[in-house]
Amino acid sequence: MGLYEQHVLPRLVDLACGDRGFDRWRVEASAGLGGTVLEVGFGSGLNLPHYPEQVERVLAVEPSTVARDRAAARVRASTAQVDFVGLDGESIPLDDDSVDAALCTFTLCTIPDVDRALSEIRRVVRPGGEFRFLEHGLAPERSVARWQHRLDGVQQRLAGGCHLVREPVRLVGDAGMTLRSSRSAFARGPKPWTYLTVGHAVV
């Protein structure tokens, strides 16, 4: 991993994903969660202020040491216990059926083998537990989708492997989870990057 990926990119992601305009989306994604929650792609802890008080423990998977360092103040302020448990969503070092729920925000776009990561999430969440997600992805508008396909290769090179054209609802369904609800809309900002989906699935 080069200097850009290791030190610059995590700061850029923290800045971009930390936009206050995403707060209401994060609240919606985490509403109703409780107990022990696995968060894959924990980043700098931007979801922590939005977790319900019923969340007692967060098991965080995050590969970037810079992101984990930037999360320190949010971890200290959190009412939930936060433990870093792994670096890679494709191989989560937890027992089967060991967490109550899982959360991903702006993460499924980047994981190289996203199907394997979703399989791992399904493995560690107890039967009947929840998977919540907030992701950007392929827009339904043809003109926007064309630009997303054009920009996808550049996006992957500049943004740590992030794809613009993945479809989170389809990915979750293909992983064998049952989708309970989802909502998609454009957020503020350039449309190729801001078609967001917040969803709730059951394992």
Tokens 């991903």 locate to 104
What's the pLDDT at 6? Answer: 86
Q: Evaluate the CA torsion angle 19, 28, 68, 110 in order and state its sign.
A: negative
- Find how far residue 27's CA is from the centre of its chain: 13
Ranges of the chain with pLDDT below 70: 1
Per-residue burial over 147-163, b if 16 or more Cβ lie within 10 Å, else e, is: bbeebbeebeeebbebb
Q: What is d(CA 107, CA 136) in angstroms, rounded to the nearest whole number?
A: 9
Q: How far apart are CA 167 and CA 91, in angstroms?
A: 22
Which top CATH class is 3-202?
alpha beta
Q: What's the pLDDT at 1?
A: 63
- SS3 assignment for 62-80: CCCHHHHHHCHHHHHHCCC
Single pTM value for the model:
0.95
Per-residue pLDDT reduced to its tens digit, 15-59? 989 888 999 999 999 999 999 999 999 999 999 999 999 999 999
Q: Collapse the DSSP code of 38 into the 3-class scheme (helix H, G, I; strand E, B; otherwise coil) and give the result.
A: strand
Of 1, 12, 199, nearest to 108 by C-alpha is 199
- Determine the pLDDT at residue 30: 97
pLDDT at residue 168 in the model = 98
pLDDT at 99: 98
pLDDT of residue 145: 98
The confidence score (pLDDT) of residue 86 equals 93
